[in-house]
């Protein structure tokens, strides 16, 4: 799935991704980012997988920041 980082708190290492034309808000934690040496920032386009937790919240996993040079062709 692809989306865009809409919120990011760099000091705490988390934020949110908007996906499906804004219909889905997904939690993003720095530990799930696969783009080495690159931290997310607002408006970054990302590719990711989604998991739903026991409380029905959506969490991003295997996050790659597009255009960071880490996306396989």
Q: In whole numbers, what is the pLDDT of the chain averaged over residues?
A: 92
Q: Tell me, yes or no, whether 13 lies in a domain.
A: yes
Beta bridge partners of 2: 47
Q: Tell me, yes or no, whether 72 lies in a domain.
A: no
pLDDT on residue 67: 82
* For residues 6-23, average pLDDT: 96
CA 27 – CA 30 distance, rounded (Å):
10
Owner of token pair 């408006």: 43
Q: Tell me, yes or no, whether 70 lies in a domain.
A: no
Q: Tell me, yes or no, whether 32 lies in a domain.
A: yes
Predicted confidence (pLDDT) per residue in 42-67, tens digit = 999 999 999 999 999 999 999 999 98
> Domain count of the chain?
1
CA 70 – CA 55 distance, rounded (Å):
32
CATH code, 33: 2.40.50.140
Q: Tell me, yes or no, whether 53 lies in a domain.
A: yes
Q: Write out the residue range of the structural domain in which residue 23 sits.
A: 2-65
What is the value of pTM for the model shown?
A: 0.86
């Amino acid at each position: 799935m692809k989306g865009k980082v809409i919120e990011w708190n760099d000091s705490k290492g988390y934020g949110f991704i908007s996906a499906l034309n804004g219909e889905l808000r997904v939690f993003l934690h720095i530990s799930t980012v696969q783009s080495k040496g690159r931290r997310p920032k607002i408006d970054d386009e990302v590719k990711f997988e989604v998991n739903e937790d026991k409380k029905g919240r959506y969490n991003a996993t295997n996050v790659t920041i597009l255009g960071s040079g880490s996306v396989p062709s």
